[in-house]
Amino acid sequence: MVVVAGPKVRLHLLLARSRLAMQEEVKSVARQLQIGDWFVLYQLGKNIDPLIYNELMAELAEKFKGKSIV
């Protein structure tokens, strides 16, 4: 329940899951995600290779660059 209520907790969980990704990329992606999107991304991080997850985070950060917060 804390995860649903706390965007900062969700950010720290994503940061812990994506240790290979750049911290600023993870932060920029996390700012754009709604709870459902965050959950899917978090589950992907648990189930795919860390290098591929790193690439995914980098691509998402590039896609979200310059976009306003949802």
What pLDDT is stored for residue 70 in this prediction?
A: 55
Of residues 50, 4, 47, 3, the one with CA closest to residue 26: 50
Q: How far is CA 22 from CA 5, 6, 33, 45, 53, in A?
A: 25, 22, 17, 15, 12
> pLDDT > 90: what percent of the chain?
44
pLDDT band of residue 2 (cuts 50, 70, 90) is low
Sketch the domain layout of the chain as residue ranges.
2-64
What pLDDT is stored for residue 22 in this prediction?
A: 87
What does the pLDDT look like over 35-62, one tens digit per residue? 999 999 999 999 999 999 999 999 999 9
pLDDT band of residue 18 (cuts 50, 70, 90) is confident
